[in-house]
Amino acid sequence: MNIHREGYPFIALFAAVNLLAFLLAGWLGWALLPVTLWCVAFFRDPERKTPDSPGLIICPADGKLLPVVDAVPPAELGLGDKARPRLSIFMNVFNVHVNRNPVSGNVVALSYRAGKFFNASFDKASIDNERMSIRVRPEGQASDARDLAVVQIAGLVARRIVCDLAQGEGVRRGARFGIIRFGSRVDVYLPPGTEILVQAGITTRAGETILARFV
């Protein structure tokens, strides 16, 4: 099982505490063992097979797709004040938390904003919570007409958003770009001219589930 690099310090800490608990009292060590195993599982980073058909927009996160709404993208990305379809994926503490690029293209803008830590399933989390906003221009596009936004959002217990991207960087659909600890949400704001191919309530897999396609 692959482990994301962000997980090693936490796994080491949990394992050390668990070992100490075993030394102090066997029953305590056994009681804490499921927590240590959960920590290992939380940072798992499985391989995924990304669809390669042109024009697809792939899900960036594992989790549950919340109701699709029209919403204005984060102002800091410069995508205007017109509402567009927003697909939100809620990740609980048992989901894989490694995030993946929904399209191939170039990072046009990045913006981190500190904020609150409401439950990530609440709609207000998209506005009020800590977030990292990413604007991506799909490959082959010379204008901003099809730029989309991906927003990593901290949740109730999440306390760190990790994004490995840089402005101007080229990205590949399905490639890893970050992780959120521990329980969170990822929003995708679709550009005009896309067809949504999913419905609220489905379970998604980062890098594999097809969210939409350009038409």
Within 10 angstroms of residue 7's Cβ, the number of other Cβ atoms is 21
53 flagged as catalytic: no
Rounded distance between C-alpha atoms, residue 161 and residue 163, angstroms: 7
The one catalytic residue among 104, 126, 133, 184: 184
Rounded distance between C-alpha atoms, residue 59 and residue 206, angstroms: 5
Catalytic residues: 184
